[in-house]
Amino acid sequence: MSTFVFGLAFMALAAAPPTKGKPAAPRPAAPAATATVPSPTAAQPPKRIFPFPIEEHLLPNGLRVLLVKFDSPGLVGYYSLVRTGSRNEVEPGHTGFAHFFEHMMFRGTEKHPKEQYDELLSQAGVSNNAFTTDDCTAFHAFGPTRALPLIIELEADRFQNLKYPEDDFRTEAKAVLGEYNKNYSNPTEKMEEALLDTAFSVHPYKHTTMGFKADVEAMPSRYAYSLEFFKRWYRPDNTTLIVVGDFDAASTLQLIEKAYGSWSGRSATIAIPSEPPQTRKKAVNVSWANPTQPRLVLAWHTPETRVSTPWAALQNVLGPYLFGPTSPLYNDLVLERQLVTSLSGTYWDHRDPNLFGVFATLKSEESFGEVQKAIDATLAELRAGKVDAKRLEDIKSNQKYGLLNSFDEIESVGLALVFSISPTGDPRALDALFNHMDALQPKDLVEFAKTRLIDTNSTAVTLVGAGAKPPPGIPEYTPQPAPSTGDAKKGGAR
């Protein structure tokens, strides 16, 4: 899945779950460029949006367990969320390791080697998978409730006792390089790589979840580092277990306590470098070797996701308001003048400041100027105070009820929790998100646009195919040197 996606990430992934080893497109962002926008004031007491009670337990070793009963007779989902993603890759030469290590977690243990692990789950009717984002790595299993004791046993074993020889490590490293080459044979994925590399200077969001290509190529020589990576991050205090479906809570908790109770250790302390405010407009072009439709992405540094602030709610609404199918811009560029074949907002909730933007696929490179002009005019109107209050309320309602309507199966419920906990650490973050969304007013969008959606805070990436001319004055993208951002130390809170 491309990281050029808009809106509530877990809704998209619930509809199309990522495959094992394929990063579920996340996206970067940076700190605010200017003044702080006041937080909307909720007119009502906080309301509970997530419709299922969450029974929460914290084991003595720091492992958090969330039990969520769901009407799915005889079926259960089991999620293991590790709050470590490409954001944690601060050491030069070691980008892409969170995603790579997701692969290694399927290599088995002494008690349950890989082949036995796969066979036991298959015989029990359990499907399992995993994905990595900028901020987390998540493993999920789905199957009959009667298989839950087996799932708990196998997952607890590999999280505590993962073991693989160096030959297996090297084999998997080559597979990951093949995945990198496959992914970046897609023009849109290459644009993402250029966008992040250009927009960020020091924050680890500078690289994609796959990592810098040179680092991926060097992975076969990182066996010792892989063992250290496991010790640093796959620790109980950095992990949340989520059980969703038809199960007995008391007996399930007992099984988890027995299987994970002896797991010990503390995850690493890590200093994530703060991205400095951007002070000039940036733009690069990617020239594609083969014929393809021209593309444009324009993005701005915006704030991180927090339960205490309205920024995530505002950006989840602002994307469809400005660029969605009901927007005047979409009507102009897609339906009336037909200059572009697709137009969408790009936003993904992130633990640190990230990017909000717009992605367009054009019919002709000759339209770059007109498309940019139309986007600029739309933003200028918003900064000047023009907001369609009714359409804003309709979008807010659509976001809320679209989410609630997606809760018709275990996977959508589990992923909603994964993607709300990942950036915030709070299992009730969805309630906060939609309470902030309810409180949003037109003035909040205007103030956000005035302080964030400005030229000096923007990065543009264009892409043209063979034989096509890029917009005049835009330099060709060249990869930037990987920054030296520090290291991680064992122990302590993050």
Q: Residue 483: what pLDDT?
A: 56
Residue 276 domain-assigned?
no
The CATH number for 376's domain is: 3.30.830.10
Residue 275 domain-assigned?
no
Based on the fold, state whether residues 260 and 313 are members of the same structural domain: no
Based on the fold, state whether residues 61 and 188 are members of the same structural domain: yes
DSSP 384: T
Based on the fold, state whether residues 170 and 249 are members of the same structural domain: yes
- For residue 314, the number of C-alpha atoms closer than 13 Å in the C-beta half-sphere is 28
Based on the fold, state whether residues 182 and 314 are members of the same structural domain: no
Question: Across all residues in the chain, what is the average pLDDT?
Answer: 90
Residue 73 domain-assigned?
yes
Among 207, 238, 270, the domain-final residue is 270
Within a 10 A sphere around the Cβ of 287, how many other Cβ atoms?
A: 14
Based on the fold, state whether residues 174 and 306 are members of the same structural domain: no
Among 270, 302, 332, the domain-final residue is 270
Percent of the chain with pLDDT over 70: 88
For range 425-429, the mean pLDDT? 95
pLDDT at residue 392 above 50? yes
Residue 486 domain-assigned?
no
Based on the fold, state whether residues 318 and 376 are members of the same structural domain: yes
Residue 105 domain-assigned?
yes
Sign of CA dihedral 80, 86, 92, 96: positive
Interval 199-245: pLDDT, tens: 999 999 999 999 999 999 999 999 999 999 999 999 999 999 999 99
Helix (H) or strand (E) holding 79: strand 75-82
Q: Which position has the token pair 């650490």? A: 425
For residues 89 and 285, is the Cβ–Cβ distance under 8 A?
A: no
Contacts of 125 (CB under 8 A, 6+ apart): 143, 144, 147
Q: Residue 487: what pLDDT?
A: 54
Q: Residue 144: what pLDDT?
A: 98
For residue 463, report the phi and psi dihedrals to the nearest 5 degrees: -140, 130
pLDDT at residue 463 above 60? yes
Residue 490 domain-assigned?
no
Q: Residue 481: what pLDDT?
A: 63
Based on the fold, state whether residues 262 and 289 are members of the same structural domain: no
How many domains does the structure of the chain reveal? 2
pLDDT at residue 488 above 60? no
Better-predicted residue by pLDDT, 364 or 33: 364
Within a 10 A sphere around the Cβ of 435, how many other Cβ atoms?
A: 20
For range 297-323, the mean pLDDT? 97
Q: How far apart are CA 61 and CA 66, in angstroms?
A: 15
DSSP string, 158-222: HHHHB---HHHHHHHHHHHHHHHHHHTTSHHHHHHHHHHHHH-SSSGGGS-TT--HHHHHHGGG-
Based on the fold, state whether residues 350 and 445 are members of the same structural domain: yes
Based on the fold, state whether residues 27 and 65 are members of the same structural domain: yes
Q: How far apart are CA 132 and CA 139, in angstroms?
A: 9
Interval 24-52: pLDDT, tens: 333 333 333 333 334 444 445 568 999 99
Residue 300 belongs to what domain range?
282-479
Q: Report yes or no on whether pTM surpasses 0.85.
A: yes
Based on the fold, state whether residues 305 and 370 are members of the same structural domain: yes
Residue 41 domain-assigned?
no
Based on the fold, state whether residues 290 and 222 are members of the same structural domain: no
**24 phi-psi bin (left φ>0, alpha ψ -120 to 50, beta other):** beta
Rounded to a whole number, what is the distance in angstroms from the first to the last CA of the chain?
Answer: 29
Among 231, 246, 270, the domain-final residue is 270
Contacts of 123 (CB under 8 A, 6+ apart): none
Based on the fold, state whether residues 334 and 201 are members of the same structural domain: no
